[in-house]
Amino acid sequence: MNRADPCVTVTVLTGFPALFGSLDAEGIIKIAIESGLAEVRIVNLRDYTDDRHRTIDDRPYGGGPGMILKIAPVARALEALPPARARREVILLSPQGERLQQGFFEARAAGADLVLICGRYKGVDERIRTLVDREISLGDFVISGGELAAMILVDGLLRLIPGVLGDLDSARGDSFSTRLLDCAYYTRPETWRGCKVPEVLLSGHHAEIRRWRRQDVLRRTRARRPDLLLNARLEDEDRRHLASLDEAGSES
């Protein structure tokens, strides 16, 4: 990879490219692309059809409701892509895939060439799955198509590219980046409708502020996502604080 190449390339295969019209108009994605750190390509699957109606879906063999995304436009679009700058990873966005996790972004922010196939309709021709490296889902729910999922994946990845955020430490402290939820934050005014900012955050005592934030991370995670604590990297002080929370809960 030479210095002029983007760090991350994401190609999206979709039958509805207009949905991505404002993707790079604002915010982090715009910064990543304009700075040359990332490239996002939107490929219209309808350009790879062979009928005058540019059809990318058809009825399923065996009958039943709904339409199925055809394999031919997808295969042709993949074959027409320019050579990869790094190892190319082809991903199908589908509710049947593995659940997307923060670690996926962290592992690829230093350099990746991703191709995202947006699932649509009732489902995809099963043979499309033979063309992909993995299948990813946002969660246990269904939306109209993979386009929104692709936008989320692009945003989650590009914001971690070194040089995109003004302060990368801001991203490193996000929820799930540390395998735990993030702590509470406050800004001006100090008091709003009787609700005051915790005194420790106004003290200027950096060690105490760090300690308060770490304890708040543990409190929030224990209350909202206790499952995350099972695999979290915890220090002895963390375990003592969690034990004190458990004792306080049992006494209440």
Question: Within this chain, do residues 28 and 136 fall inside the same structural domain, yes or no?
Answer: yes
Provide the CA 189 distance to its chain's centre, in angstroms.
32
Number of domains observed in the structure of the chain: 2
In the three-class reduction of DSSP (H, G, I as helix; E, B as strand; rest coil), residue 97 is classed as strand
- Does position 168 have pLDDT exceeding 60, yes or no? no
84 plus 153 within the same structural domain: yes
What is the torsion angle, in degrees rounded to the nearest 10, for the CA atoms of residue 220, residue 103, residue 39 and residue 37? 80
> Same domain for 197 and 143?
no
**CA–CA separation, 100 and 119 (whole Å):** 15
* Eight-state DSSP code of residue 40: E
Are residues 153 and 230 located together in one domain of the fold?
Answer: no
Asked if residue 232 is part of any domain, the answer here is: yes
Quick count: other Cβ atoms within 10 Å of Cβ 144?
11
CB 40 within 8 A of CB 33: yes
Q: Is 244 found in the same domain as 195?
A: yes
Range of the domain at 43: 8-158
Q: What is the pLDDT of residue 1?
A: 44
Contact 97, 141 (CB under 8 A): no
The residue among 146 and 175 whose pLDDT is bigger is 146
* Whether residues 77 and 198 fall in one domain: no
70 with 139, same domain: the answer is: yes
Residue with tokens 């300690």: 211
Cis bond before residue 226 (omega within 30° of 0): no
Would you say residue 22 lies in a domain?
Answer: yes
- The dihedrals phi and psi of 113, each to the nearest 5 degrees, come to -130, 100
Q: What is the CATH number of the domain that holds 239?
A: 1.10.1270.20
Q: Taking Cα atoms as reference points, which of 44, 45, 43, 22 lies closest to residue 33?
A: 22
Say what the pTM is.
0.85
pLDDT value of position 3: 44
Answer left, alpha or beta for residue 251, where phi above 0 means left and psi between -120 and 50 means alpha: alpha
117 and 54, same structural domain?
yes
* pLDDT 10s digits, 194-239: 999 999 999 999 999 999 999 999 999 999 999 999 999 999 999 9
pLDDT tens, position by position, 14-56: 999 999 999 988 899 999 999 999 999 999 999 999 999 999 9
Kindly tell me the burial class for residue 21, based on how many C-beta atoms sit within 10 Å of its own C-beta (0-12, 13-18, 19 or more): exposed
Both 114 and 206 in a single domain? no
Mean pLDDT (the chain, rounded): 92
Residues 102 and 218 in one domain: no
Mean pLDDT of 118-125: 94
150 shares its domain with 237: no
Residue 164 belongs to some domain of the structure: no
Percentage of the chain modeled with pLDDT above 90: 82
